Amino acid sequence: MTSGAPEAAAVASGPGPLRPGDRVVVVSPAGPCPAELLDAGTAWLRKWGLDVRVDPHALDTHPTLDYLAGTDADRARAFEQAWLDPSVAAVLAARGGYGSLRMVDLVDWTAVAAHRKVFVGSSDTTVLHERFWAHGLPTWFGPMVGTRAFVEDAEARERLRAALFTGVTAYRGVGMVGGVARGVAVGGNLSLLTAPPPPGAVVLLEDVNEEPYRLDRMLTGLLRTGWFDRVAGLVLGSWTGCGDPAAVLADRLGGLGVPIVADVRFGHCAGQLTVPLGVPVEIDGDTGTVTVQG
């Protein structure tokens, strides 16, 4: 099955590239970040030749809710100020956890959308990725600098560096449902998806520490709302800590009649890929190939 370009404004060239000397700001839009991991992560960014700034609130903890990196207003303000600073080329999330959903509506997205920069985040920042692609801005879904997935995983770290400085042209998985489809890549962490994808989108999905029955519940809920009705294809990433999700993924998604590429190494896994969102891609469900076209 082949689908034409989506009707959304999210068709865009890939984010970046960055160059040595570019200024990047690390922010904490979700959960609190351990200082030692943030220090180690930013040290790597400096080794790459980047001018690294850490937002003053990046190590905050909410006064009563210790799973949040400071107040919602402070997290939103930090993200927005970093993005709107004309000297900043990229905004990088320190870590996920939980909290992006609480601050996302406090951000002036009209102002953010007027500036094209690089954003990197994954997991809980899926909520921010949704807003970015809804406003036509491409992003990177990859490891975050204040986490072990960046500091202690050399393969994932190098893949992020390559993506930021040279881009990504293609990545591979395993063909699950045959056919070819083209559309704008959107998605992220399954449990955090809220906004419906634009018509004709290619949706990327992954999650962590969710039993198969919980994945079934999430997918069934989205199916009942018609969330998948107009997608062009699916790319399935890692399901670390989710038992063996193959049967439930096939049961819930295999009948959609769209090409599916599975077992792609993005998300919560060792050596994770950094993949672009908000850009046109072509997926081949027979060869398991995803080609980035933007």
pLDDT in tens, 132-147: 999 999 999 999 999 9
Taking the alpha carbons at both ends of the chain, their separation in whole angstroms is 21
Q: Strands 90-93 and 260-262, how do they pair?
A: unpaired
pLDDT in tens, 210-254: 999 999 999 999 999 999 999 999 999 999 999 999 999 999 999
**What pLDDT band is residue 12 in, cutting at 50, 70 and 90?**
very low
Q: What is the pTM of this model?
A: 0.93
pLDDT at residue 6, as a whole number: 32
Q: Which of 80, 100, 130, 268 is catalytic?
A: 268
Q: Which of 244, 140, 136, 150 is nearest to 198 (CA)?
A: 136
Q: Is 283 helix (H, G, I), strand (E, B) or coil?
A: strand
Q: CB-side exposure of 193: number of CA atoms within 13 Å?
A: 23
pLDDT in tens, 255-271: 999 999 999 999 999 99
Based on the residue annotation, tell me whether 268 is a catalytic residue of this protein.
yes
Q: Which of 80, 130, 206, 282 is catalytic?
A: 206
Q: And the tokens for 124?
A: 């809980």
What's the mean pLDDT when you consider all of the chain?
A: 94
Cα 100 to Cα 110: distance, rounded to the nearest angstrom: 18
Q: Which of 123, 130, 238, 282 is catalytic?
A: 123
Cα 288 to Cα 294: distance, rounded to the nearest angstrom: 19
Question: Cα torsion at 85, 86, 89, 95 (round to 10°)?
Answer: 10
Q: And the tokens for 174?
A: 């395993």
